[in-house]
Amino acid sequence: MIKILFSTFNTILRSRYHNEFPISSKNPLTNNAIVGEVEFYSYKAGDSHAAYFGSDFNYANQKAFRDKFISLTNEKSLCNIGLREE
């Protein structure tokens, strides 16, 4: 999902919310434009509920949120779009 919502250009994190370099994102299942915020939830195996973690707006605008999100995920594909260093 991160690869759909974000990209990098000359070390600039691009998203749907970027003032100068906005990108459009489409739902890969329906090919419709994504409208509104995409929410992220954390879920632990065995729990009966998920906790709201933040949204793509938080990810785009808050470095602290990005760092926390990346540290809590084991998303190696983030490295491929330049958002994380190995």
Does residue 58 contact residue 65 with C-beta atoms inside 8 Å? Answer: yes
pTM here is 0.69
Every domain of the chain and the residues it spans: 2-81
- Higher-confidence residue of 81 and 45: namely 45
Burial of 82: CB neighbours in 10 Å, binned 0-12, 13-18, 19+: middle
What Å distances lie between residue 40 and 10, 12, 55, CA to CA? 26, 22, 5
Confidence of residue 82 (pLDDT cuts 50, 70, 90): low
pLDDT digits (tens, 9 = 90+) for 2-51: 778 888 777 778 888 888 888 888 888 999 998 888 888 888 878 888 88
- Using pLDDT thresholds of 50, 70 and 90, give the confidence band for residue 85: very low
Helix, strand, coil abundance in the chain, percent, nearest 5: 30, 20, 50
Mean pLDDT of 74-86: 52
**Model confidence band, residue 78 (pLDDT cutoffs 50, 70, 90):** low
